[in-house]
Amino acid sequence: MKLFFTELGRDIFQVSFTLFKLMIPVIVVVKILQELGAVEYLGMVLGPIMHSVGLPESMGFVWATTMLTNIYGGMLVFFYTQQAEVLTVAQVTVLSILMLLSHALPIEARIAQQAGVRLRVTLLLRVGGGLLLGCIMHHFYSFFNLLQEPMNLMWQPEIPEPGLLAWGISQVEGLIMIQVVIVILLTALKVLKILGIERLMALLLRPVLRLVGIGREATTITIVGVTLGLSFGGGLLIKEARAGHVAKRDIFASMSLLALCHSIIEDTLLVTVLGADLSGVLWARLLFTFVFIGVLTRVLSQCPDSFWRAHLVNKHVEPLGPAVRT
């Protein structure tokens, strides 16, 4: 029992320290950028791009806020922006897809980078993947004339209190909540491992994850990321990668999958209260993720190690590991 709590305490400290060391400086930098008007500028740049996915330019500001902050921030901006627009359920669904695939990039892309995936790869996957899936679903809904009725907003956010003090308190509360989740998560994983349930879950899901190039060493961590979020799954991957327990190719496949599909429960529920339809934000996202990552890992498995080290993974995480499994 003493060994159990000793190992658990060490794991909690390592994961928490790694995450907070990444998150706290980024949170401060993002706040500074917000105060300097970076969000508004990015929104103006993204405005014309919105037409490619069937959205008005004003939604560029919503997506920009989501990318630099989080889904909650994007939802808040959406509430005020949509009052001047008449959006359909299809349009809200497409916007929600962009928000789901590309949010909290300064923090989550940095976590992926520390896990071993190059920053430019993560940004390309998340922003490019969001636009690709958004474009596909826009044309799908338009071609079949689906979800063209006006959207029904089911959520109205509370107006946040102004000032740095209120902002600081909210950030501290968020970090405390993350710490609580880490403690509960790691405790649960350790208990599941002792009971053998973790192994059973891995056996059941291994064939599916193997199809997209994820080995058994990263199976449980990937499940954590898909269900609870990239921060938690990525934090665990950082720990395992630095210990040399997970090969680079498995890390890359896992983080690529999590880039497109993570926190599938909470985030999906969040955007549905905006009026988004599950056909896009859940089923299409799952299908797109597994097909896209499956094809991607198989194509990249043919590339030499030199290409992986130069363009895909960071050099400080070893070993590279075997080629993607088929």
Q: What is the pLDDT of residue 23?
A: 79
pLDDT-derived band of residue 20, with 50, 70 and 90 as boundaries? Answer: confident
For residue 324, pLDDT beyond 60:
no
Mean pLDDT of 65-77: 86
For residue 202, pLDDT beyond 70:
no
For residue 90, the one-letter residue type is A
For residue 254, pLDDT beyond 50:
yes
Neighbour-count burial for 116-142, b at 16+ CB within 10 Å, e otherwise: bbbeebbbebbbebbbbbbebbbebbe
Q: Are 155 and 287 contacting, i.e. CB atoms less than 8 angstroms apart?
A: no
User: Please, how many CA atoms are within 13 Å of residue 61, restricted to the half-sphere of its CB?
Assistant: 14
53-67: per-residue pLDDT in tens?
999 998 998 899 899
pLDDT-derived band of residue 25, with 50, 70 and 90 as boundaries? Answer: confident
Q: What is the pLDDT of residue 318?
A: 47
For residue 185, pLDDT beyond 50:
yes
